[in-house]
Amino acid sequence: MKPTIKDIARKVGKSITTVSRALNDYDDISDETKQLVRQAAQEMGYIPNATAQRLQKRTTDTIGLILPTFGPRFSDPFFSEFLTGVGNQASEMGFDMLVATRAPGNQEMQSYRSDVATNRVDGLIIVRTRCDDPRIAFLKQAGFPFAAFGRVSGDSNFPYVDEDGSFGLTLIIEHLIELGHRRIALITAPEDLTFTHHRLEGAHSTIQKYGLEIGPEYLLVGDLTQRGGYECAQNLLNLAQPPTAIAAFNDLMAFGAMSAAQERGLSVGKQISITGFDNIPMAEHAHPTLTTVQQPIYQIGRRVCELLIRTIRNEPLDETQVILKPTLIVRRSTGPVA
């Protein structure tokens, strides 16, 4: 069986109190005793029992992340990267990461409630915020520590990291307009997601600035999957007057749109321009390579995680609300209008 401090105490002939304090480097323990205890612990292969420590300290040193998965075949590269960022940061700061996979909805909220209620985690990370986010509303009223990737439409007075989606789409639209495009279509994202509105706002205001507009037939809502992008693009290309450029609200949908265009024999980047958002690693190796907006997903994951852990620890936060400026990555999927 695993040795406990009791075993160490017996071995070195001291009380368990002394052992505990020696191990935790209290300064009312003599150096000799510390030496002795540590040596014994080492020899016996002692490792503290995390559960016992947690019960006593009433903290878990664990953060929770509930991934909003859409269906079983959920496979979004965006989330892998974000998860890696959060995970690495957590481990560097001495925290574990509890992950659950839930489709948005009732079960999801149940998970939040239960995570909070059972004290399984010290705080939660929220991904892909919704305008009117029940998760955030709940955590706020519960007074439970959390940090989010994204804002909400109302009061965003909580720790978050977000990208400036409005600026991102401004970059995209300006790029397309400079290339001479006038018939620009948008494959947007579900309306309940906050970022959809930011990006939409950036797109609209930029279009307007140039005296143009986006007709309703050029405004389609995608589901952020490749299939969704494909289907929306089909519809756009079926129009009597199809667009010369399609701006998708994420890379995955842009890939789907590229497939749809290519299936009709259109040369992407020449006969039609297509853009994405996120700059997932695949964007660089698609054919043609994808013009998109760069979001440092991995870094955002780290940052959100750090924000959360500092909140948990009650450490001062120099910056609680972070908004990052994305940058435009011009590649081969866009070109001058035909």
Partner DNA sequence: TTGAAAGCGCTAACAT
Partner DNA sequence: ATGTTAGCGCTTTCAA
d(CA 121, CA 314): 16
C-alpha span between 63 and 86 (Å, rounded): 10
**Shortest Å, Cβ 151 to a second copy:** 24
Residue 56 in the binding site for DNA (CB under 7 A):
yes
CB of 11 to DNA, least distance (A): 12
> Smallest distance, Å, CB 96 to a second copy?
6
Q: Interface residues for a second copy in 161-220 (CB under 8 A)? A: none
Per-residue contact string for residues 7-26; x = within reach of DNA by CB under 7 A: ------xxxxxx-xx-xx-x
Of these, 96, 174, 192, 201, which contacts a second copy (CB under 8 A)? 96
Cβ burial 210-241 (10 Å sphere, 16+ → b, else e):
eeeebeeebbbebbbbbebbbbbbbebbeeee
Segment contacting DNA by CB under 7 A, of 54-62, 127-135, 217-225, 283-291? 54-62
338: closest CA among 262, 275, 245, 254? 245
Using the minimum distance from each CB to DNA, give the nearer residue, 3 or 190: 3
Instruction: Verify binding: residue 109, DNA, rule CB under 7 A.
Output: no
Q: Percent helix, strand and coil across the chain, each rounded to 5?
A: 45, 15, 35
Q: 305 CB contacts (<8 Å, ≥6 apart)?
A: 63, 85, 86, 89, 90, 93, 95, 125, 147
Per-residue contact track with a second copy, 262 to 301, x per CB under 8 A? xx----------------xxx-xxxxxx--------x---
Judged by beta carbon, residue 66 or residue 207, the one nearer a second copy is 66
The answer to the question of residue 334 lying near DNA (CB under 7 A) is: no
Closer of 33 and 235 to a second copy (Cβ): 235
Q: Rounded CA gap, 68 and 127, in Å?
A: 8
87 scored as a contact of a second copy (CB under 8 A): yes
**57 vs 98, 309, 315, CA distance in Å?**
19, 16, 18
- Could you give the string, one character per residue 50-69, with x where binding to a second copy holds by CB under 8 A and - elsewhere? xxx-xx----x-x----x-x
First to last CA, the chain: 75
Sequence-distant (≥ 6) Cβ neighbours of residue 66 within 8 angstroms = 99, 100, 101, 102, 108, 111, 112, 115, 124, 135
State yes or no: residue 78 binds a second copy (CB under 8 A): yes
What is the nearest approach in angstroms of a second copy to the Cβ of residue 209? 34
Q: How far is the CB of 31 from a second copy (least distance, A)?
A: 27
Interface residues toward DNA, by CB under 7 A: 1-2, 4-6, 13-18, 20-21, 23-24, 26-30, 32-33, 48-49, 52-53, 55-58
